[in-house]
Structure 1
Amino acid sequence: MLQILNSEKENLISAKLSGKISKNDVEKIHSKIHDILENNDKVDFYFEMDDFDGYTLKGFWEDIKTDSAHISDYGKMAVVGEKKWQEWATKITDFFTSSEVQYFEMAEKEKAMIWIKQ
């Protein structure tokens, strides 16, 4: 499930992820990416993973398509998580993109938000 969080930064998509992310959830983010790109060069992300279990199969496929279409449009990414696999996934994302990607523990949420807004 995807819950969009309020953000004061114009080019930031801020969301809380829990359970499994569906195709519909990814489509919501994709729509927000397009809205931001109308007025900005890059899209930044803040993802807070609270009891996050990954994607449905259709959600995963939709995410791959979205990332393929917009990978050069991504700026900074802050990933806040609670599990080791989330930290590893963040490191893999950092390796495969030119974006600046950083992982934060759940206790560092405020630090993550400060970093992404700089």
Structure 2
Amino acid sequence: MTTKTKTKAASKLPLNEILDGDCIDVMNSLPAGSVDLIFADPPYNLQLRGDLHRPDNSKVDAVDDAWDQFSSFAAYDKFTQDWLKAARRLLKPNGAIWVIGSYHNIFRVGAA
């Protein structure tokens, strides 16, 4: 790949813009191997039935929005695998991904 081709491919990425949409659809619309760093803060899957408590037994006051609601752990794991697959496709060979999480979800992200 020539420098001109690399520059042309990189120029297709939107800069200084917020891309509104489903994260997987948006990532799949971007060129493969075009991103140096992905910083992700995915849903934590805290919308489980019943109250959620921390190890010190204090209640977690979590979001109750639809984007953090999954029908099961299997559905959450599938979503996690799908967005990580889309993210990996975007990364350059020496790219990196940083993922924010909590003890509720980060181990599931690491296992995906």
Instruction: Pick the structure with more strand per residue.
Output: 1
> Which structure has the larger Rg over C-alpha atoms?
2
TM tier relative to shorter chain: 0.3 to 0.5
Q: Which has the higher helix share?
A: 1
The structure with higher relative contact order (CA 8 Å, sep 6+) is: 2
**Under a length normalisation based on structure 1, what TM-score does the superposition of the two structures give?**
0.33
